[in-house]
Structure 1
Amino acid sequence: MHGNENGLHPDTGVTSTIFVERSLNEIRFWSRIMKEHSLFLRLGFRAEDTQLIHEANQFFRLFERLEQTAHAFTNQSDPDQIRSFNSEVQQAATSIFAFKRKVLGLIITCQLPGANNFPLLVDHISREANYFRKRLIELNQGKLKPLPDAIIKENVFFLRIMADHAKFIGHLLDPSERKLIDIAQNFSNDFDQLLYQARDLEGMVPYSQTVPLLDQFLDQNRVSVTSLRDFKKTARELIEQCKIKSIIHPLLADHVFREADRFLEIIDMFDAHLTSHKTNPRFVED
């Protein structure tokens, strides 16, 4: 979850407790994600890509340490310590973002022929690193989007992530798994449509920022994300039990499941905020 008050307007202030809780929540979740990205990149490099493998291993160790440090803090930790820790993690997220973009450039310019990292996958994980680093900057600066902006922007970001996941699953399954590939393709199409709708809503801001429209927007997205999350859970279990043919690492199956679960938590949190605004359907600002 994105903290308990993700859409809070900066003018209302953020307490030290909320700041600490949000920061630790973000870092505990995303540091683990960054650590796993390092592993997935390494697995996709060729044996001769020793320097890239070395860099990926360094990032794995770095984010493993940061994840452990985040769990050593508590919600009662000193806000100044957390602010300093946020800066340290933000620098690490910026570094891995740059590494991922470098790898993407090498792949697209055909300098890593035979490697197994899709360009879209590397772009995907670099977007997540950029999201993480920007989130930490916002937290330290106390800049939080008004609720209507946060709802639309977060959904645009995560809907694209979900659409990508469906595409990756479809391409990493063995071609003989025809039925599962068909299901993954249907999810890809569904989330592409939801993403287009979200971007249309974003283009109509501020007029689209009414409680009825945002409420319907969240409800529609929740239905599809829940279905995809459940599909990912089933796929994870089948992969762990060696019941389907694929080149999907079991950790990758769990990784994409956790990201869908987080998106659902964010939708539920936004919905709870919207409920308190339903007496004011016009609601352009929080």
Structure 2
Amino acid sequence: MSNEFVVRSLDEVRFWSRIMKEHSLFLRLGFRCEDTQLINEANHFYSVFEAIESKANAYDAGTDPQTIQRFNIEVHTAACHIWAFKRKVLGLILQCRLPGQTNFPLLVDHVSREANYFRNRLEQLNAGQLDPLPDAIINENVFFLRIMADHAKFIGHLLDPSERKLVDQAKQFSDEFDTLLFQAQDIESMRPQSQTVPLLDQFLDQNRVSVKSLRDFKKTARDLIEACRIKSIIHPLLADHVFREAERFLFIIDMFERTLTGTTAKNVQIHH
């Protein structure tokens, strides 16, 4: 265990604990007023991840690695519990047991995939067994391209139908990222023969261009929503939430690019 383990662990926990906390809020807002048990559970997870976020921010790069290893185990338990809660909610929705609630089934599945990603990353960090670079590049891009495609679909459905231009832009991004995801899955199925530096470098370059465009679209939408300049039912925090996840994906792409080719990629500021 090393300083790098501490830094990487804290980066993951700070980012994803805030994401999990916000998921709890978004799910709660979609429940019906009579769903008191689900609302209470969502509030509980909000408090759990708010405490984790605060604890992570109190640590620094000089913290004893053993302390961070124990902290990762604690956070992993919380991530497993919120994953189970999200899957329970998804089941209730798909069984038509929550008529009138407003959480899309795909959104609940989406947030559960992110919880699963988070807990898997904590397991990898504590085991010291991160994926080899070629596998990591493909796996991360397959995961995040689907996340980005989902975001475009959610934005398109939560904008007011009268915002025709923005709805159309969201649909175009949805189609674009569906295509990129299919391409990534093709590369995934061609492993290990597809894991060459030229192919992976082109893969990253192509995805970066599209993610930057989507990131800029999300930023514009977020700013317009915060200024009450467009019609939608998108919570301002949700608009910022999906923007930060696009920033995260760009950060990961640039990190891979530097490691893969040794070139200097543009640094992306990540806001936890």
TM-score range, shorter chain: over 0.9
Name the Cα RMSD after superposition. 0.8
Report what 2:52 is aligned to. 66
| Overall identity of the aligned pairs, in % | 74
1:259 aligns with 2:251: no
Q: Is the aligned partner of 1:143 residue 2:129?
A: yes
Where structure 1 has 5 or more consecutive residues not aligned to the other structure, the ranges are: 1-14, 278-286
Is 1:216 equivalent to 2:214 in the alignment? no
Equivalent residue for 2:262, pick from 273, 276, 280: 276
Match of 1:29 among 15, 18, 29: 15
Match among 139, 143, 155 for residue 157 of structure 1: 143
Q: Where do 1:103-252 residues align within 5 Å?
A: 103-252=89-238
For residues 210 and 139 of structure 1, what CA distance do their matches in structure 2 show? 26
SS in 1 for 2:153: helix
Partner of 1:10: none
Query: Following the alignment from structure 2 to structure 1, what is the Cα–Cα distance between the partners of residues 9 and 191?
Result: 29
**Deviations 1:83-121 (CA, angstroms, capped at 9, x unpaired):** 000000000000000000000000000000000000000
Give the secondary-structure state (helix, strand or coil) at the position aligned to 1:68: helix
Secondary structure in 1 aligned to 2:16? helix
Amino acid in structure 2 at the alignment position of 1:175: P
Q: Report how many aligned residue pairs link the two structures.
A: 263
Q: What TM-score comes out, normalization by structure 1 length?
A: 0.91
Deviations 1:212-265 (A, max 9, x none): 000000000000000000000000000000010000000000000000000000
Question: How far did 1:276 drift?
Answer: 3.3
Runs of 4+ in 1 over 2 A off after TM superposition: none
Structure 2: which amino acid aligns with 1:118?
Answer: F
Ranked by relative contact order (alpha carbons within 8 Å, sequence separation 6 or more), the top structure is 1
Alpha-carbon separation, structure 2, partners of 1:208 and 1:145: 16
| 1:13-35 CA-partner distances (Å, limit 9, x unpaired) | xx510000000000000000000
* Structure 2 match to 1:83: 69
C-alpha separation in 1, matches of 2:129 and 2:259:
18
Matches within 5 A, 1:32-43: 32-43=18-29
**Separation of aligned partners in 2, 1:43 and 1:264:** 29
Give the Cα–Cα distance (whole angstroms) in 1 for the partners of residues 64 and 197 of structure 2.
37
Report the counterpart of residue 267 of structure 2 in structure 1: none
Partner of 2:2: 16
Q: Which runs of 5+ in 2 are unaligned?
A: 264-272
CA distance in 2, matches of 1:253, 1:180: 14
Partners of 2:253 and 2:130 lie apart in 1 by 17
Instruction: Tell me the secondary structure at the aligned position of residue 111 of structure 1.
Output: coil
What's the CA shift string for 1:8-62, capped at 9, x where partnerless?
A: xxxxxxx510000000000000000000000000000000000000000000000
Structure 1 residue 274: Cα displacement: 1.1
Equivalent position to 1:57, from 43, 56, 78: 43
**What SS does the aligned partner of 1:97 have?**
helix
SS at match of 1:244: coil
Spell out, residue by residue over 1:156-204, the C-alpha distance to the aligned partner (whole angstroms, 9 max, x if none): 0000000000000000000111110000000000000000000000000
Measure the CA separation in 2 of the matches of 1:87 and 1:123: 24
Distance in 1 (alpha carbons) for counterparts of 2:187 and 2:16: 27
The letter for the 2-side match of 1:274 is L
- TM-score with structure 2 length normalisation? 0.96
Task: Please point out which of 63, 70, 87 is paired with 1:101.
Answer: 87
Work out the CA distance in 2 between the residues paired with 1:144 and 1:95: 23
